[in-house]
Structure 1
């Protein structure tokens, strides 16, 4: 079923802070989409942020009508598209207003096999939230703030991102100190956890692949006790080799893969994963920089890649469109960037490209790819109109063009209906559903 859902702000938040929805973002406020996740029961969760920072207003300002603020928001939608509830928590790792959510960079969202939400961020921060958004259930926080503060071993980390395989395995990324000789903590490892992540315990993660084969300046405190490689904690000289960058080193003779970065991996089946990694970005433009969507099995072997993308003509660096999504039950992988929507089969063969140069698919340039719902539906977010589009998954990728074309036409009709029902202000939607402050 094609659905269009509003990425709505809680009305109480808008009123409390006197947020002017007619104001341009250049005046110091903004709404940012982070991730979308589907649940087996058909529900959808959206993770996004809202902030206001007005120059000249002191951070100690107490009047909420003018004070600066920042929140992460999760909104829950029923299978029929109704907004059921939202939860908000402050950003920056703050524990204000009763918030116990571990926050970090590259924040993402997934629904665990038992229905619990996992909010993840770098470095290896994982927060478990009740499915009804009413409370935080557990926090696994690395507390590794290097280089901004002295490191201590007091943290209890888990993962920087999580994706779930069909059998319930957890495909994770982990961060390490000293990647590419930087003095902070950067995502560098891909691993698999066989057991469940719960309120009371976290599973061991078996490292499968690495990006930088030899991070610098590590010591014994950098060993990851919950992550292992060949039966020993990951860290120092113990991590998967050859690294992904070593396997493709000959493909970029100009600049090499130093300072490349690891994207969020997704499961293509229960034992085969797509692991994206990207060469360094430049201020003057990075279109044409190399990237690889590697196929890695659960033994850590790079068995192939997703083929068919040109480094320049299909570059994800334009607009920084780095997300991948996968439907592991059908063995389909998807990528959306400014140049098209791409789909591959389990063998890495490109089976469909919906070119945004065409009139039919040009609207896709305004969407970002969230994820695949458990039934395979694509979840997209419109970056300007703040709407979610749910696209039914075709069994055959040769039908993708017709399916997406119909979804975009339905989006236009459903958007018109929502505007009449919700009366958005400058494409900003507000709702009156229950709000939980977690």
Structure 2
């Protein structure tokens, strides 16, 4: 196991004279990815809110909301940080706006893509010092794609052959006014995404087919089904909503898959993907509501689900932990929620379950699962202590429980060593050794 601090540039803290002891700031970890060489990119968000600071010109009083990507070298040390989302005091406007549900992908050429909902993608240099290209998409209510918009994807995952597995949002779904993630699409092998070049994506799955309100203005020219862009009835059929309702016998059920949502698809291989789909979220408790981690191949056929989960006892709705990650090099999938850590083989068979009711695995409730690295490591972020735990997954999933238990036992020892090095205050880890670029 390896433990990395989720750092914030000391220079940024100095600009705003942020007091770590105050309760006015918050740091979140959105996502993390690693390269085959062992470098790690961590996407975070830092905010401060003061009710009396509205309109203040003093950086020490101003509210702010930044996003940051920090590259850690193979040795775990912060090597570079990009700061974006808003302009620092006295600086030019940020070229990359703050995005909701943002995730990262390291492309085959080493460039770093940051995508956010509903469908914006920004391409950064590997050293995080330049914005190479941008494809924005508005999240305005009732708005369709208009002048100046050139969306690509709400999320990107890269398969071993260099295919881009993407989640795409659409306008005009059912009675929703804004854009929602609704398509799963893939590129061909070795796809190139870069300045002046946006690869064609082939739609393989639709979440919701209620698209009567769509107009031609809302179509994405780069997302195609057959010989034309996806739109209205030109899309994969049946929809995931329909297929999962049939598979689970919940057609017509109030608590089935009508008005469901999906999160970032994960690649189990070059031609097999996991698509997390969740039933409608209600104001009251949602524990026991329908959810499926659907197995979808690159022809759009639903091959089944990741099995062995109980709707109530394993519900991801408690805590809203909806992320599934996968290791396409070894054909494994993983999920962590408040009830346990789960691992499956590529055929959807549950191979390991570590219950948080067990004393050895109870600390897992404090972590969020972010990603699986090319080396087969799970990236887990501590929700309060802002540390990134890398857990090596054994080739034999029957040995995973022992590996996770050992990593959790070693966590405290590694944390103590990092505290001596960084001297964090209130779990805010500042660092001034890495180069900082304000994008």
TM-score, normalisation: structure 2? 0.95
> Residue 161 of structure 2: which of 142, 167, 181 is its match?
167
> Are 1:435 and 2:431 an aligned pair?
no
- The aligned residue for residue 200 of structure 1 is 196
- The aligned residue for residue 182 of structure 2 is 188
Cα deviations by residue, 1:130-184 (Å, 9 ceiling, x for unpaired): 1111111110112x33317675243111100000101010000100012232000
Cα deviations by residue, 1:306-357 (Å, 9 ceiling, x for unpaired): 0001010000011111111111111000000011100000100000001111
Three-state SS of the structure 2 residue aligned to 1:368 is strand
Alpha-carbon separation, structure 2, partners of 1:151 and 1:329 = 37
> Are 1:105 and 2:100 an aligned pair?
yes
Q: Is the 8 A contact 1:88 1:435 kept in 2?
A: yes
- The aligned residue for residue 218 of structure 2 is 222
- The aligned residue for residue 9 of structure 1 is 8
- The aligned residue for residue 396 of structure 1 is 396
Q: Is the 8 A contact 2:269 2:331 kept in 1?
A: yes
Three-state SS of the structure 1 residue aligned to 2:401 is helix
- The aligned residue for residue 124 of structure 1 is 119
Cα deviations by residue, 1:34-73 (Å, 9 ceiling, x for unpaired): 0010111100010010111211222x32110001111001
Three-state SS of the structure 1 residue aligned to 2:52 is coil
Alpha-carbon separation, structure 1, partners of 2:372 and 2:144 = 39
> Are 1:38 and 2:34 an aligned pair?
yes
- The aligned residue for residue 22 of structure 2 is 23
Q: Is the 8 A contact 1:102 1:139 kept in 2?
A: no
- The aligned residue for residue 231 of structure 1 is 227
Question: How much has 1:214 moved relative to structure 2?
Answer: 1.9
- The aligned residue for residue 242 of structure 1 is 238
Cα deviations by residue, 1:244-270 (Å, 9 ceiling, x for unpaired): 110122433233322210111101111
- Unaligned runs of 5+ residues in structure 1 are none
Question: How much has 1:237 moved relative to structure 2?
Answer: 1.8
Cα deviations by residue, 1:68-105 (Å, 9 ceiling, x for unpaired): 1110011110111111121100259xxx7342115432
Cα deviations by residue, 1:348-367 (Å, 9 ceiling, x for unpaired): 00000011111111111100
Q: Which moved more, 1:357-366 or 1:173-182?
A: 173-182
Q: Which moved more, 1:232-241 or 1:337-346?
A: 232-241
Question: How much has 1:23 moved relative to structure 2?
Answer: 1.6
Alpha-carbon separation, structure 1, partners of 2:314 and 2:225 = 35
How do 1:330-409 residues align onto structure 2 when only pairs under 5 Å count?
330-409=330-409
Q: Is the 8 A contact 1:181 1:216 kept in 2?
A: no
Q: Is the 8 A contact 1:160 1:175 kept in 2?
A: yes
Alpha-carbon separation, structure 2, partners of 1:148 and 1:66 = 35
Q: Is the 8 A contact 2:143 2:178 kept in 1?
A: no
Alpha-carbon separation, structure 2, partners of 1:395 and 1:145 = 42
Q: Is the 8 A contact 2:84 2:98 kept in 1?
A: no
Q: Which moved more, 1:317-326 or 1:207-216?
A: 207-216
Alpha-carbon separation, structure 1, partners of 2:43 and 2:342 = 24
Q: Is the 8 A contact 2:86 2:93 kept in 1?
A: no
Q: Which moved more, 1:326-335 or 1:405-414?
A: 405-414
What is the aligned residue count? 430
Alpha-carbon separation, structure 2, partners of 1:343 and 1:91 = 39
Q: Is the 8 A contact 1:97 1:437 kept in 2?
A: no
Alpha-carbon separation, structure 2, partners of 1:124 and 1:315 = 28
Alpha-carbon separation, structure 2, partners of 1:201 and 1:431 = 36
Question: How much has 1:238 moved relative to structure 2?
Answer: 1.3
- 4+ long deviations beyond 6 Å: none
- The aligned residue for residue 53 of structure 1 is 49
How do 1:136-175 residues align onto structure 2 when only pairs under 5 Å count?
136-142=131-137, 144-147=138-141, 152-175=146-169
Cα deviations by residue, 1:188-218 (Å, 9 ceiling, x for unpaired): 0000011221223010010000111122421
Alpha-carbon separation, structure 1, partners of 2:144 and 2:197 = 27
- The aligned residue for residue 298 of structure 1 is 298
- The aligned residue for residue 70 of structure 2 is 75
